[in-house]
Structures are given as C-alpha cells and as structure tokens.
Structure 1
Amino acid sequence: MSTPATATTNEPAQAKLSTLDRFLPVWIIAAMIIGLLLGRLVPGLAVALDSVKVADVSLPIALGLLVMMYPVLAKVRYNETGRVLADKKLMITSLLINWLAAPAFMFALAWIFLPDLPEYRTGLIIVGLARCIAMVLIWNDLACGDREAAAVLVAINSVFQVLAFGLLGWFYLQWLPNLLGLPTTSGEFSFWAITLSVLVFLGIPLLAGFLTRTIGEKTKGRTWYEDRFLPKIGPFALYGLLFTIVLLFALQGDEITSNPLNVARIALPLLIYFIVVFAVGMIVGRGLKLGYEKTTTLAFTAAGNNFELAIAVAIGTYGVASGQALAGVVGPLIEVPILVALVYVALWSRRRFFPEYAWHPTHAKRQEPQT
C-alpha cells in the first residue's frame, strides 16, 4: 500500500509503517461496517452502481480498483533487474513456488474447505493465482529482506500476470476440474473475460506506474521520486482499497449478514495458505543457501497475494455482488495481520537458522522490531 516512511537503523520496524498501514485491519473492518450500513440505508445503490460500466465493472468501483493499483506499481524499480536476474537459483525457485506450487496449493485448499460453495471456491482460486505485487515490499523491508530482489520479483510477477493470468484461470477453473472429474465453475467463466480484467486493472496501472517512474526519475531524480513523490501518492492505494471494500460490502450485505459462517469458511483456508507457503519459502531458501535476505524475500513474495487484482478480476468476471468478489475481499482482512506476524517469525529465524548472520558487521546495523 502506501510507501513506508524512512526509518533509522535503531528505530522499531513498526515505525516504518505509516498510521494507515499499521492499522490496516482496523480500516478494513471499518470499511466493511460502513458498507453494510450503506447497503441497508441507501435504497437503489446497486442500480446506481451498475448504471455506468468500464469493462463490465461499475465506473465507481473501476476507478477505485485503478486508484488502488497505481501507487503500488509506481513504486517498483523496473530498471534494477540485472543483479537479481543473474541469480538463477533465486529466480527459478521463485517462479516455481509462485506460479506452480502456490496456485496448486490454493486450488487444493479451496476444494477441501469449500466443496459445496462454488462461488467462494472460485474466488479463493483466483486469489491464489494473483501473485503478490503490493504489500510484499513493506513486509520484506520490515523483515530486512533483499529490497532489490523483492522489487525485481514484483516486476516479474506484474508482467507475468498480464501475460498468463487468463490461461491459468482457465487451467484451474475449467481444465483441471474436468480432468479430475470435479464440477467446473459457473458458465459465466470466460478466459477472455479474465484476460480483459487483468489487462484493464493491472495492465493500465502497470503501464502508468512504469511511465511515472521513468519520467519522474529522468526529470527529478530517484531521490526526489522515492523520498517526496511516492509518499504523496502511496496512501491512495489504501484509499482505493477501502473505497472498493465499502461498495462491495454495501452490495454483499445480505449475503454476509445471512451467512457469517461462510465468511469464516473462506478465512480458514486463507490462514493455512499464508502460513504454509511462507514456511515452505523459508525452508527451501535456507536449503538452497540463498542467505537470510533472499530467503526472506522468497518467502514473502510466495506467501503474499495480490488481493487488489483478485478483487478486480472477480468483479470484472463475475460481478460486484458475486461470491467470488466477496472471497477476494476477505483476502486482505486475513493476509495483513498474518503477514505482520510472519515478519517477526522471519526475524526470529534469522539468528537461529542463519548463523552466518551473526558475524557480518553490515547485518548488525539492521535491528529487529521491539516487542
């Protein structure tokens, strides 16, 4: 979301998060409550939202989604790819976990926990396909991971999603269930609908973010761009997310209040997913001797998900009032507190499973957060 403020080496890691980011779960819950109240107090809201559309998504929600994605993609250092791309071990491992293991694991969890709820199940699978490009930069920084490696992996995930998301959606929502003899998702599914949603809600802000950084650095320099410009636009990612959540919950109010147990059923596989995939990333990175910083980056980029894109795709493909969209909205509510906790797990593991860290003077400058 928003760009964390620069912190001194002796400053607690929590201080790197702005107030908006630090209390993100609180804001999300508040947005949900406001949305539920609007849904009950404002008659005809659904009709009004559906009156003007962009890519089959109501204009207000489409604007919220685009505002949500742009600041995140403007943060990526697109030109710093050489060093990280040269690390074949990190690159191959990241691609395998991000694009093979993690989506397959979410597919399995969705069918295990939601076999009787096809809309929510489809929404979870879409979340699993949306690889993290957003808050992973914050979690990685708090856990003292490799910043440049994280930026490059984020850029690769961004481009890869534009090119392959639709194909993967078809594979996990149509082809694989047919192969396994499982019922497929609803007839509303369309490879081209998902591809169009990705092109609009990821492609447009990705291009805008790339052009913004390129022009900004050329005209004003990187220091101005990252220290002055990014902090100004960063909070708009959260504003866009909260605005979208308010509207979604206004439309989903009846479903949520009537079936709160279903929301809990969505949350449980998400909880398992984040913890297990993070653990796998840490174990594999340590086994490959990537070192603490790259191992941490590998784990967070694998465990985190781009819930902004998942929400956009679910809305664009299935509609704002769909169960798929609700499953996407539950994502950040679970992901944020879990990944904050995993920051502390990573820092705890640094001194216990990466003993070489203790005798490198440069590493001693980066402190663990105070509890």
Structure 2
Amino acid sequence: MSERSRLVQETRPDHEEVVGGLSTLDRFLPVWIGLAMVVGLLAGRWVPGLAEALDAVKVASVSLPIALGLLLMMYPVLAKVRYDRLDTVTADRKLLVLSLLLNWVIGPALMFALAWLLLPDLPEYRTGLIVVGLARCIAMVIIWNDLACGDREAAAVLVALNSLFQVLAFGLLGWFYLSVLPGWLGLDTAGLDVSFWTIAGSVLVFLGIPLAAGYLTRRLGEARKGRDWYEGRFLPRIGPVALYGLLFTIVLLFALQGSAITSQPLDVARIAVPLLAYFALMWTGSLVAGWLAGLDYPRATTLAFTAAGNNFELAIAVAIAVFGVTSGEALAGVVGPLIEVPVLVALVYVGLRTRRFFPRHRTPGRVTHV
C-alpha cells in the first residue's frame, strides 16, 4: 500500500466506529423493519376485514392511520436538518447538480422504462412502480448513508431538498409519466386517468406538513432556547419517534396487502425484478458518476444512496389515495421495502470496499445533529 493510500484510509471514518456510534434502534434497523413486515403480513392474512377497516378511517382520500405514521416518521428527520447549512451542499455545484439530475430526471425515467419493459402485461403493477420511481428517499437513507460512512450533513441537506422538490413537483411528474408520456410514445394505458390534483394533494398532506413542521420547530426552538438546547436535549427526545413511525407505517402497509403478497408469490417476484434492476443501476451509476466528477468517497456514497433509495411510504400513500387500498398499484409499492432493505444493506458493504478508489478532498464532520 502506498503512503498516500495509507493516509487516506487512516483519516476516513471506520465502519465499525460509525456502527458503534449508532443507537441500538438505528443499528438494528433492518431487523426491526423485517419484524414489522412479518407482523403486518400476518395481521393482514389472519385478521378478517382489517384492510377494509383501515381504509375506512380516512378523510376524503387521505388514510388517517397511514398519514399518522408518515407524519411521525418524517417530522423528526426534517426537524434535525440545519436549514441554515444548506450552503454546504448548494456550494458544491457538482454534488447538487448530480443529485438533482439523478433524482428527478434519470431515476423516474429509468423506473418508467423498466416498468414498461418488464411488466408490459401488468398495468396496475407497472403504474405502481412508476409512482415509486417518483418518490425520492428522505428517511431511511440517513441510516444507510451512515453505515456506509457517507457525509451525514450532505445527506441531511439532500433529504431536505428532495422533500421540498417533491412537494412542488411530484404531482406534475406523476401526471406526466402516467398520462402524458405514454401517449406521446404510443403506449396503451388502458384508459388510465390520473388526476394531477389528487396526487399533488396527497403529497402536500403526507410530506408538506412534516416538512413545514420540521422547519418551524427548528426555527422557533433555536430562537427560544438556543441551538445547544435544541440539538442536545430536544432532538434526542424526538429522534426515536421517526423509527416508531416508520415501523408503524410498515406494519399498516403490509397488513393492507398481506393477503395479496402471500397468495400471489409469482406477481411479487415479477414486481421484484424491475426493482432489483433499478436499485443496482441507480446506485452503481450514481457512485460512478460521483467518482467521475471527482467527489470524495463520503459525498459520492451519499449521492449514490440518496439517488437509489425511494420513499415507499409516500408512494404507497399516493397509490392508496389515487387507486385504492387493495389496488395492484398499492401492492407494487408495498413490495418495494421487501427488496430495498436487503439490497441497500448489501450495497453498504459494496460501497465500503470501493473507498480505496476515491480521492480525499475533505474530512466531513461526523456530527450527530442531522
């Protein structure tokens, strides 16, 4: 090993050091998610009428149980972001441009292409996957990024930017990819009629509310008590709520589709194929793009995980609001976490093995506030 390589490796955060710094809840996140999936599947399979009961508790097209889970999951994450540090990412033009391009141009287009290519005869599942491709990851990506020794502050800022962009653009992109683009390409959508306003309204409720609440909490909390109190006492108290909200939401989602998942294994397998291809292509392509752009490993791996991950909870919430709780579109979204969790955990270790190929330009702060 050259002297330069040795110095680079010694100054980078160690995976075991990062894992040791995580809470027990965060460290075993894949285990808790797996257990939540199992509980949801069993409940949906063995509790008669559960899906109908959960679907009945709603206002207009908004499922209140799922809305509660999403709010609990996303609010603490968005309350942790240092909004006054947005310039740490926006000043890095390469990272910012690559992230926007990968998340909002390449990612949705790739999922659209894979869905039509691999599910030409299954329009409901195909539509569900296209919706998944529009929902950029804003929650679990923080954990995958930490485990892979990525730049935590950059990840948190990209989460905030993705959240804001989703509120503004999700409805328009959903309408474009589901209604407009297939017509331009001469594809048969079998009379699919998707309302821009229904999609936009769902995103505004499920994502806009926690984003606004997180921003206002930080502004008001720091103004009244100061940053030390906010980050040292308040954030540790609300941090675990994000995981509880995530697990609660996963249990609900798998309960709603438990019968369909266990009774239609071949359909689940077919949905899994484009998802596997999507994760592999997006993560690998993003990491290579970061390397070609001259990013160091922490920021390149942050770019890869924020581009490859998807916000399945939001996608399923939108699918339920637009197509119904027991629809094939909702099932396609529910299959997502079954594939995403093991694949992205595996990619954490693949990413760690690529560190020696990256130059080192900076040592990112390993902070706990984001």
* Superposition TM-score tier, normalisation by shorter sequence: 0.7 to 0.9
Of residues 223, 226, 234, the one that matches 1:229 is 234
Mapped pair 1:166 → 2:146: no
Structure 2 unaligned regions, length at least 5: 1-12
Q: Normalised by the size of structure 2, how large is the TM-score?
A: 0.87
- Determine if contact 2:78/2:215 at 8 Å carries over to the other structure: yes
Return the offset for 1:173.
0.8
Question: Is residue 28–residue 333 contact of structure 1 (8 Å, CA) maintained in 2?
Answer: no
Inter-partner Cα distance in structure 1 for 2:96 and 2:89: 8
Q: Which residue is 2:188 aligned to? A: 183
- Indicate the residue corresponding to 1:302 in structure 2: 307
Match of 1:369 in 2: none
C-alpha distance in 2, partners of 1:154/1:45?
A: 33
Count of aligned positions:
354
Contact 1:131 1:157 in 2 (8 A): yes
Contact 1:69 1:205 in 2 (8 A): yes
Shift of 1:167: 0.7
Instruction: Find the counterpart in structure 2 of residue 4 from structure 1.
Output: none
Q: Which residue of 1 aligns with 2:20?
A: 15
CA apart distance, 1:40: 4.5
**Pairing 1:64-79 to 2, within 5 Å after superposition:** 64-79=69-84
**Paired position in structure 2 for 1:133:** 138
Deviations 1:87-141 (A, max 9, x none): 2222112111111111111111111222222121111111111112212222223
Give matches, 1:159-308, under 5 Å.
159-184=164-189, 187=192, 189-308=194-313
Change (3 A) 1:13 1:319: same
1: CA distance between counterparts of 2:135 and 2:61?
A: 20
Q: CA RMSD in A?
A: 2.5
Q: Percent identity at matched positions? A: 71
Residues 125 and 61 of structure 1, relative CA distance in 2, 3 Å threshold: same
Asked if residue 344 in structure 1 is aligned to residue 349 in structure 2, the reply is yes
Would you say the 8 A contact 2:134–2:173 is kept in 1? Answer: yes
CA distance in 2, matches of 1:15, 1:185: 52
Runs of 5+ consecutive residues of structure 1 not aligned to the other structure: 1-7, 367-371
The answer (yes or no) to whether the contact 1:55–1:197 under 8 Å persists in 2 is no
Name the residue aligned to 1:325: 330
CA gap of 1:350–1:193, structure 2 versus 1, over 3 A, is same
Which TM-score applies when normalising by structure 1? 0.86
Deviation at 1:41, TM superposition (A): 4.1
Partner of 2:85: 80
CA shift, 1:365, in A, is 11
**Pair 1:97–1:267, CA change in 2 (3 A):** same
